[in-house]
Amino acid sequence: MSSIRCIIIEDEPLAVKVLTDYIRQVPYLELQASFKDAIVATDFLRNHQTDLIFLDIHLPKLKGIAFLKSLNYSSAVIMTTAYHQYAVEGFNLNVTDYLLKPFEFERFLAAVNKVRTATPARQKGEEGTEKKDYIFVQVQKKRVKLLFSSIVYIESQREYVRIITTEGEYISKMSTNEIESLLPAANFVRVHRSFIVAIRKIDSYTADSIEIGDVSIPVGKGYRVSLDKL
């Protein structure tokens, strides 16, 4: 029997313990890791594949719904929350099931079995799916398609991001963390809390700045290690 790899994104210790105990009781579930916030989970997903995410709604930093909207993976998602009002939005975002806390093991198992049934079909569909080379971002009242190859750099402007592309610039209401989670890690690097740059567009760099054409972008002290990986 093939295992279903899963992670937990949950900031309540008791809820993490309950989910962990339930997962251990199901032979075909394999718990890879648990996270207190979605930002750390996003970093994990950049380098690891998982089949199932148990996702809480009320999380620090990046909320569960925002994380779900930014999810750039084909993992199944089971939402776990004490608030029933998010159910409709969750299902509109194609979650597999919605567990209202507190939930019993039998209800948990029913949700997991839905994933187990759907996993073979999902994996078969993924085999013929091309890797996505674009994202859609909200710009005023419309969603604009941006090719990864056209993005030069991204600058944070409080609750907005300014996306500079080879065709022009776009302002979208989202955080730097949110858009970073949508970008392929192999093509983009965070060099400052306010800047993300396309690696292929970099002309030169030092420990303090990056040059892209006539633009100089600062490098934050905590992000210098990212440049060493280039």
Q: Are 103 and 82 in contact (CB under 8 A)?
A: no
pLDDT digits (tens, 9 = 90+) for 129-183: 446 788 888 898 888 999 999 999 999 998 899 999 999 999 999 888 888 878 8
d(CA 168, CA 11): 40
Q: Are residues 17 and 111 in the same domain?
A: yes
Say yes or no: 79 and 182 in one domain. no
The residue range of the domain holding 94 is: 4-127
Above pLDDT 70, what percent of the chain?
A: 86
What pLDDT does 21 receive?
94
Number of domains forming the structure of the chain: 2
Give the three-class secondary structure for 17: helix
CA 5/CA 75 separation, integer angstroms: 10
Residue that is last in its domain, among 106, 127, 148: 127
- Tell me: the pLDDT tens digits for 52-86? 999 998 887 777 777 877 776 678 899 888 776 65
In this structure, the number of other CB atoms found within 10 A of the CB of residue 147 comes to 12
Angstrom distance (rounded) from CA 228 to CA 168: 30
Same-domain status, 99 and 180: no
Same domain, 8 and 122: yes
> Could you tell me which residue, 93 or 130, shows the higher pLDDT?
93
Q: Based on the fold, state whether residues 71 and 182 are members of the same structural domain.
A: no
Average pLDDT, the chain: 83
CATH number of the domain that 139 lies in?
Answer: 2.40.50.40
Gap between the Cα atoms of 179 and 160, Å rounded: 10
199 and 154 in one domain? Answer: yes
Structure-model confidence comparison of residues 91 and 30, the more confident one: 30
Q: Within 13 A of 7's CA, how many CA atoms are on the CB side?
A: 20
- Tell me, yes or no, whether 47 and 66 share the same domain: yes
What is the total residue count of the chain?
230
Angle at 125 between CA 62 and CA 64, to 5 degrees: 10
Find where tokens 């970093």 sit: 43
Q: Which of 99, 127, 155 is the last residue of a domain?
A: 127
pLDDT at 190 over 90: no
| pLDDT given at position 129 | 41
Residues 121, 202: one domain? Answer: no
pLDDT of amino acid 53: 94
213 and 140 assigned to the same domain: yes
* C-alpha to C-alpha distances, 21 to 29, 105, 106, 143, nearest whole angstrom: 11, 9, 13, 42
148 and 220 both lie in a single domain:
yes
Sheet of 188-192, strand order: 169-172, 160-165, 151-157, 195-198, 188-192
Q: Note whether 156 and 139 are same-domain residues.
A: yes
pLDDT at residue 42 above 80? yes
User: Do 11 and 54 belong together in one domain?
Assistant: yes
Residue 122's pLDDT is: 47
Instruction: Write down which residue in 93, 112, 127 finishes a domain.
Output: 127
Taking phi over 0 as left and psi of -120 to 50 as alpha, with beta for the rest, 94 belongs to: left
N-to-C CA span, the chain = 40
CATH at residue 68:
3.40.50.2300
Core vs surface per residue 200-228: b (16+ CB within 10 A) or e? ebbeebeeeebebeeeebebeeeeeeeee
